[in-house]
Amino acid sequence: MSSPLTYSEDYIAGILRSVKTIAMVGASANQIRPSWFAMKYLQEKGFRIIPVNPAAKEEEILGEKVYASLADIPVPVDMVDIFRSSEAAGEIIDEVIRLKEKLCASVVWMQLTVINHEAAARAEAAGFKVVMDRCPKIEYGRLCGDIGFMGVNRRIIDNKRKPLGAGRGALSRNALGQGKGQL
Amino acid sequence: MSDYGFSTLSVHAGASPDPATGARATPIYQTTSYVFDSADHAAALFNLQTFGNIYTRIGNPTQAVLEERMAALEGGTAALAVASGHAAQMIIAHALMETGDDFVAARQLYGGSVNQFAHSFKKFGWTVHWADATDPESFRKALTPKTKAIFIESIANPGGIITDIRAVAGIAREAGIPLIVDNTLATPYLIRPFEHGADVVVHSMTKFLGGHGNSIGGVIIDGGSFNWSASRKFPTLSEPCASYHGMRLHETFGNMAFAIACRVLGLRDLGPAISPFNAFMILTGIETLPLRMARHCDNALKVAKWLKEHAAVDWVSYAGLADDPNYNRHRTYCPKGAGAVFTFGVKGGYDAGIALVDRVKLFSHLANVGDTRSLIIHPASTTHRQLSPEQLKAAGAGPEVVRLSIGIEDADDIIADLDQALRD
Ligand SMILES: Cc1ncc(COP(=O)(O)O)c(C=O)c1O
């Protein structure tokens, strides 16, 4: 239907390899929301996730303090991950652009079904790498092999034996996408 | 990986050395269940919050390699392997339709699919409206406000029609519904329907994919292209899912949501899981798919040309023949070959057809296609005998029609067998 967005493996793997701290806008303490389990999974993989949600009643989600806005975050973040509607993403991205110096972020990531081409173009013009309509949890799981259990096309060919237990939780982040066949 | 060629993917995609043993061939994981690391891990798995194995009705590591290989060969985002081609069709319909909905399907389908759609699906309250695979506009005319999908075969069994996939895909796109393509007879070696606008591809892996006539299986591949949330037509994908605490599958799984929905709802609840052994057999078959398909198609063209000149043969319907009405679509959609299943008409009608299948010595008389062995059947007296005379004609299975599935033996031997059997 809608023409699918395509990103190269190197682009996605490059982002996931370089990023360490992620501000998650629209993070939720509700355990059935995708944001909650994306946060949990990414934490297990060694990322620090800083939840941003003005409506959250909780002080903390998964052990991290919740901030009401991006401007309140006191530490540098590498990436802003947006769990909001495509329309709402526009304003959030403008704020990310305004806060570029303070946040030190270089990546704007929009979650599955979140697509805002105009805002993406503004972010790119401001020097950000942009991803739309993807989930970093799924992309990470795909690239490190976890998600192979679900019949997902990981687009990887692999001739090496993985260490035992590597399929789940134990893969080191630098194993991500070293290039063809090397994963 | 996109830069690996088709043959490389056929051998490698999805498979890596076994982490436990280093085994290079994919092991048959003959187990029903998998231990959880902790109560937390179990809960996360059941809530679809993390990736992993739970129970072989929902997924199995041998099956997962097969799924990934098929997703790679078709160029889709994810796949689900199930017990048979018919189970795959059933699960697709279950994901797309509610009671009272309908779908439009080409009239020229495998006879078993005609039965499944017309009779069994009716019991679920899903209605099929038929269209003509040779006339894309007929699909538009059959649409209703309740239509949830269009279903076609890329190469129709047994008529040998090559469908104008792009034209039908355009009609589906305008209607905001997905195009489902049964790619069984073409296999992704000949046609990759996603490249022509299909949204979901389905196969009976029982045929050329497994290729050796030893295992039944089916697969659903998600093209990742369809926006399930653009309308409220597909509540299974876009609305909160009662059996997963209100999770919305499209929002959660994005461009692989359809494959996941088919697994975690259709397969989980209807239950037609593929056995790990069958998954292994089909996976092994796929390693040689490109080699076999090239040979199947070469042999089929030789046999079709030879039959066309034979005095006892009325007509031959094979898209690889230059004067066939499907020849141009063959050049457009599958220039590497027109497949290996085709029909011809014997002079003498029904009785001559039955006589021929009795006299062959190399061909096997059976109800399958896509085996290494050459196969023959007289559809009107076997696979299609449940259909009415009008349906028979519409399906390309009239009384004089004989269907061949050409194997990978020596072409000369295949021809010699038909030659002796056509002599009276
Ligand atoms: C084109 C086509 N689709 C679907 C099927 C059904 O597949 P299965 O027999 O694996 O259920 C067949 C089987 O003959 C077929 O030829």
B182 lines ligand 1 (CB under 6 A): yes
- Cα atoms found within 13 Å of the Cα of residue B158, Cβ hemisphere only: 33
In-domain check, residue A119:
yes
In total, how many domains does chain A have? 1
What is d(CA A6, CA A12) in angstroms, rounded to the nearest whole number? 10
d(CA B249, CA B222): 14
Residue A3 confidence (pLDDT) above 50? no
The beta-carbon neighbor of A153 closest among B51, B78, B253 is B78
In this predicted structure, the answer to whether residue A67 has a pLDDT above a threshold of 70 is yes
What chain B holds in terms of domains, given with CATH numbers, is 13-285 (3.40.640.10), 289-423 (3.90.1150.10)
Q: What is the DSSP letter of B100?
A: T
In a domain, A118, yes or no: yes
Inform me whether the pLDDT recorded for A121 exceeds 70.
Answer: yes
Measured in Å, residue B85 CA sits from the centre of ligand 1 at 5
Q: Which of B70, B82, B84, B86 to mutate to test the pocket of ligand 1 (most atoms within 8 A of CB)?
A: B86
Q: Considering the domain boundaries, does residue A165 fall inside one?
A: no
Residue B352, pLDDT score: 95
User: Does this complex have an ipTM over 0.85?
Assistant: no
Instruction: For residue A29, tell me if it sits in a domain.
Output: yes
- Write out chain B's pLDDT in tens, 424 residues: 457 999 999 999 999 999 889 999 999 999 999 999 899 888 888 888 888 899 999 999 999 999 999 999 999 999 999 999 999 999 999 999 999 999 999 998 988 999 999 999 999 999 999 999 999 999 999 999 999 999 999 999 777 899 999 999 999 999 999 999 999 999 999 999 999 999 999 999 999 999 999 999 999 999 999 999 999 999 999 999 999 989 999 999 999 999 999 999 999 999 999 999 999 999 999 999 999 999 999 999 999 999 999 999 999 999 999 999 999 999 999 999 999 999 999 999 999 999 999 999 999 999 999 999 999 999 888 887 877 888 777 767 789 999 999 999 999 999 999 999 998 6
Residue nearest atom 7 of ligand 1, based on CA coordinates? B85
A15 in a structural domain: yes
Residue percentage of chain A with pLDDT more than 70: 85
C-alpha angle B253/B275/B279, rounded to 5°? 75
Tell me the CB-side half-sphere exposure of residue A60, using CA atoms within 13 A. Answer: 4
CA distance B308 to B345: 10
Give the per-residue pLDDT at A181.
29
> Which CATH number covers residue A28?
3.40.50.720
Q: Are A21 and A47 in contact (CB under 8 A)?
A: yes
**Residue whose CA lies nearest to ligand 1 atom number 15:** B110
- Take residue B210 and report the two structure tokens written for it: 């497994």
More confident residue, B317 or A164: B317
Domain hosting A129: range is 9-135
Q: Enter the tokens of residue B312.
A: 């006892």
The answer to whether the CB of B110 is under 6 A from ligand 1 is yes
User: Under a CB-based contact definition with an 8 Å cutoff, are residues A91 and A114 in contact?
Assistant: no
Spatial contact of B346 and B193, defined as CB atoms under 8 Å apart: no
8 A C-beta contact, residue B309 and residue B299: no
Closest approach of B42 to chain A, Cα-based (Å)? 13
Residue A162 belongs to some domain of the structure: no
Read off the pLDDT band of A182 (50, 70, 90): very low
CA–CA gap between residue A80 and residue A25 (Å, rounded)? 7
pLDDT given at position B2: 53
Of A141, A148, A156, the CB nearest to B1: A156
Return the closest-CA partner of residue B297 out of B107, B155, B108: B155
What is the C-alpha to C-alpha distance for residues A53 and A59, in angstroms, rounded to an integer? Answer: 10
Task: Measure Cα distances from B81 to A146, B211, B419 in Å.
Answer: 18, 16, 40
Q: What is the pTM of this model?
A: 0.91
Residue A67 falls inside a structural domain: yes
Q: For residue A52, list its beta bridge partners.
A: A25, A67
Tokens of B259: 């494959």
Is the per-residue pLDDT at A178 higher than 50? no
Question: Considering only CB atoms, which chain B residues are within 8 Å of A159?
Answer: 12, 16-17
How confident is the model at residue B45, as a pLDDT?
A: 86
The reply to whether residue B63 touches residue A151, judged by beta carbons under 8 angstroms, is: yes
Q: How many CA atoms lie within 13 A of B132 on its CB side?
A: 7
Distances (CA, A) of B150 to B162, B198, B230, B233, B418: 16, 10, 17, 14, 38
Query: Which of the 8 DSSP states describes residue A4?
Result: P
Dihedral sign (CA B386, B390, B393, B394): negative
